[in-house]
Structure 1
């Protein structure tokens, strides 16, 4: 079951990562909406002041897309520790997405997709960790 869930989640985040990275080539309307959203999200980005350089909304969007696409590919192509790390990275990305929607005052319907993705990632992590071989103690 965890393998099927890994494939579905991997394909979903591959699509969303590509949309964030190559949105202008896919649909102008979607790209405009994403651009507007990330301009609002950058104002509430967690730990923004911690970075020594200025992060623009486009950099933030690119960073989210790269994290989603690379983690999705790791989920699809690897197993074990790498897929667990990719799962946790995606959970953090979805946590930041939920926080961003909440912090800018979006309605609940904008927050629900990130919440569903986060929940699927939690289920996948639980199933994966549950089926890991246990170390035998001598």
Structure 2
């Protein structure tokens, strides 16, 4: 099971690192008008707009790119605590992505990648939790040496 978890973690981390790098590389490229147009739409339905905050589309794209890149790399090579944090951040990012696509009334086929990524991130989180629980149960079942040599009478 540990091998499957590691493979899933590398797959997801690599995917997010690549997509983050693509978002960052397209910020300065003149041919990235389509990506810029998408982030203009995404900024218009940003969830915190209800509270009066609407991000600049270029800054939004930069922030999402860095978050995906760094969290993806940490998911692959980071220590377990940082892997958990990056999994959590990527899960939140996918929830915001799904919210954004639903708010824009995009077709379901447009949302499928975000839904699949969210499902895989949640699966990774649940499996890691179950693996840790299994370790705790097996360690607690080991016989501990008695503190007293003789029984109480």
TM-score range, shorter chain: 0.7 to 0.9
RMSD: 2.3
Q: Counterparts of 1:128 and 1:49 in 2: how far apart (Å)?
A: 35
TM-aligned CA deviation for residue 49 of structure 1: 5.6
Match of 1:6 in 2: 9
**Is there any run of 5+ residues in structure 2 with no aligned partner, and where?**
145-153
TM-aligned CA deviation for residue 32 of structure 1: 2.1
Query: 1:24-63 counterparts in 2 under 5 A?
Result: 28=31, 31-48=32-49, 50=51, 55-63=55-63
Match of 1:134 in 2: 136
Match of 1:69 in 2: 69
TM-aligned CA deviation for residue 126 of structure 1: 1.1
Q: Deviations over 1:3-51 (max 9, x none)?
A: 00000001100111011111257792xx222111111111110113647
**Equivalent residue for 1:19, pick from 3, 22, 39:** 22
Q: Which runs of 4+ in 1 moved over 6 A?
A: none
- TM-score normalized by the length of structure 1: 0.87
Question: Which is bigger in relative contact order (C-alpha 8 A, separation at least 6)?
Answer: 1
SS in 2 for 1:18: helix
- TM-score normalized by the length of structure 2: 0.79
**Is there any run of 5+ residues in structure 1 with no aligned partner, and where?**
none
Q: Deviations over 1:66-117 (max 9, x none)?
A: 1111100110112322101100100000000011011011111111110011
Between 71-80 and 12-21, the greater mean CA deviation after superposition: 71-80
